[in-house]
């Protein structure tokens, strides 16, 4: 996507640099320092965007497909074996930011705290029909199905391995109120007006055309229903992940086709659903989450190598978790943050 912005590239062979980084020989403080430098570079690039950049981005998103490069995202994260995530994530397999208020000390507690916060802000209650859109390994659906036994949860993602994991866990836990479905949200077919709540946690970052997506979701909501969205975001700058050098390692390796929203981006797409309330959590909550994933990975390096097929893959994930920790921790969590929104159908 060309928004008329020329990114400066430096005459460095990024392939060689990447091989050195992924060799595992670069000391952690050096890696962290390099990642912080890349974050600072990204901010400088974003500040230099011409006036009207976000408007142009909004217009280009409106004319895009709902999502692009979905197969790449699956290869990069979502069809990676659940057993790998069982080593790296917490007990709920929550692959998204957790919440660390005072008194929360472990990743499991922080997962539970964010699930509680999500349920409260989404106004989940017993007896509802709930669509968990971009469900990952079922962190919300499996937790909430036990909490709200008279509610029915439909967990959807485009990864078959996630669907199989959720179905097996629902059976093992005796949760008859969870159904898991593998489908791409672009073509997902669901009955109209069927859901009291749609909850989407860290899936919108893989989407492009928010307008078309929100129109689809509005069609699935029952009268009086609501959508709750959780995304990571930058406080001012929205930008697509595009492969243009060092600061785009993330684009190439983990977020091909993805988008960093700004906290204001969703406000441009209220044609069918209107934002009734929004909230922000500072980035330190994500930084602490990613630090915990990083420590888990380091503690299970050999098993992770067997599951991923090579040491180089472990190093790639190690750099990814470090990059998330440093990005969200940058300037004490005041730049890249977590944003929550509740939306309701326009009358
Ligand atoms: C970062 S994970 C979040 C998982 C989960 N919500 C959680 O909090 O643990 C993003 C999820 O969105 C799903 N996803 C990404 N693109 C999708 C698409 N085009 N259609 C359906 N699901 C998609 C991924 O498979 C994954 O389940």
Please indicate whether residue 12 or residue 233 has the higher confidence score (pLDDT).
233
Distance 30 CA to ligand 1 centre (A): 32
Whether the predicted pLDDT of 106 surpasses 50: yes
- Tell whether ligand 1 has an atom less than 6 A from the beta carbon of residue 96: yes
Whether the predicted pLDDT of 164 surpasses 90: yes
Q: How do residues 258-270 score in pLDDT, each as one tens digit?
A: 899 999 999 999 9
Q: Do the domain assignments include residue 119?
A: yes
Q: How do residues 293-305 score in pLDDT, each as one tens digit?
A: 999 999 999 999 9
Q: Do the domain assignments include residue 163?
A: yes
Q: Considering only CA atoms, which of 221, 240, 59 is closest in space to residue 154?
A: 221
Q: Of 78, 111, 143, which is best to mutate to test ligand 1, by the most ligand atoms within 8 angstroms of its C-beta?
A: 78
How many folded domains does the chain comprise? Answer: 1
Query: What tokens does 190 get?
Result: 């669901």
Q: Do the domain assignments include residue 6?
A: no
Tell me the pairing of strands 259-260 and 273-281: unpaired
- Tell whether ligand 1 has an atom less than 6 A from the beta carbon of residue 134: yes
* CA 297 – CA 208 distance, rounded (Å): 31
Average pLDDT, stretch 94-111?
98
Task: Please tell me the predicted confidence (pLDDT) of residue 337.
Answer: 98
**pTM of the predicted model as reported, rounded to 2 decimal places:** 0.93
Q: Do the domain assignments include residue 116?
A: yes
- Tell whether ligand 1 has an atom less than 6 A from the beta carbon of residue 68: no
Q: Do the domain assignments include residue 259?
A: no
Q: What is the CATH number of the domain that holds 291?
A: 3.40.50.150
Is residue 212 within 8 Å of 204, Cβ to Cβ?
no
- 3 state SS of 258: coil
Is residue 1 within 8 Å of 240, Cβ to Cβ?
yes
Q: Do the domain assignments include residue 277?
A: yes
Query: Which residue's CA is minimally distant from atom 1 of ligand 1?
Result: 202
Work out the pLDDT band at 7, boundaries 50, 70, 90: very low
Whether the predicted pLDDT of 248 surpasses 70: no
- Tell whether ligand 1 has an atom less than 6 A from the beta carbon of residue 271: no
* CA 104 – CA 101 distance, rounded (Å): 6
Q: Of 158, 199, 293, which is best to mutate to test ligand 1, by the most ligand atoms within 8 angstroms of its C-beta?
A: 158
Q: Of 136, 178, 186, 207, which is best to mutate to test ligand 1, by the most ligand atoms within 8 angstroms of its C-beta?
A: 136
Helix (H) or strand (E) holding 345, with range, is: strand 336-345
* CA 269 – CA 290 distance, rounded (Å): 30
Q: Do the domain assignments include residue 33?
A: no
Q: Residue 231, Cβ neighbours under 10 Å: how many?
A: 24
- 3 state SS of 270: coil
- Tell whether ligand 1 has an atom less than 6 A from the beta carbon of residue 159: yes
Residues in the chain: 347
Distance 250 CA to ligand 1 centre (A): 17
Structural domain that includes position 179: 42-253+268-345
Q: Do the domain assignments include residue 18?
A: no
């Amino acid at each position: 996507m060309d928004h008329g912005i020329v990114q400066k590239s430096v005459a460095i062979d990024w392939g060689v640099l990447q091989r050195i980084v992924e060799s595992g020989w670069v000391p952690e403080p050096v890696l962290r320092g390099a990642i912080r430098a890349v974050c600072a570079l990204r901010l400088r690039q974003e500040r230099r965007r011409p006036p009207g950049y976000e408007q142009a981005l909004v217009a280009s998103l409106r004319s895009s497909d709902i999502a692009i490069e979905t197969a790449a995202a699956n290869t990069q994260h979502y069809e990676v074996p659940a057993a790998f995530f069982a080593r790296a994530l917490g007990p709920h397999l929550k692959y998204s930011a957790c919440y660390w208020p005072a008194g929360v000390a472990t990743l499991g507690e922080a997962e539970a705290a964010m699930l509680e916060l999500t349920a409260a802000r989404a106004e989940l209650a017993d007896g509802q029909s709930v669509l968990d859109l971009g469900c990952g390994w079922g962190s919300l659906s499996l937790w909430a199905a036990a909490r709200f036994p008279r509610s029915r949860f439909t967990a959807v993602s485009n990864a078959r391995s996630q669907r199989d994991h959720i179905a097996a866990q629902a059976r093992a836990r005796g949760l008859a109120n969870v159904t898991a479905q593998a489908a791409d949200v672009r073509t997902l077919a669901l009955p109209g007006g069927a859901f009291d709540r749609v909850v989407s946690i860290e899936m919108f970052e893989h989407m492009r055309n928010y307008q078309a997506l929100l129109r689809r979701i509005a069609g699935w909501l029952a009268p009086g229903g609501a959508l709750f969205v959780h995304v990571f975001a930058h406080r001012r700058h929205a930008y697509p992940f595009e492969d243009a050098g060092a600061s785009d390692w993330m684009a190439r390796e983990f977020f091909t086709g993805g988008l960093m929203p700004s906290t204001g981006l969703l406000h441009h797409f209220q044609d069918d659903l209107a934002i009734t309330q929004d909230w922000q959590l500072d980035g330190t909550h994500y930084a602490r989450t990613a630090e915990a994933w990083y420590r888990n990975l380091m503690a299970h390096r050999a098993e992770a190598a067997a599951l991923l097929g090579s040491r180089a893959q472990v190093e790639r994930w190690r750099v990814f978790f470090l990059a998330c920790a440093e990005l969200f921790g940058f300037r004490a969590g005041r730049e890249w943050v977590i944003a929550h929104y509740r939306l309701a159908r326009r009358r």
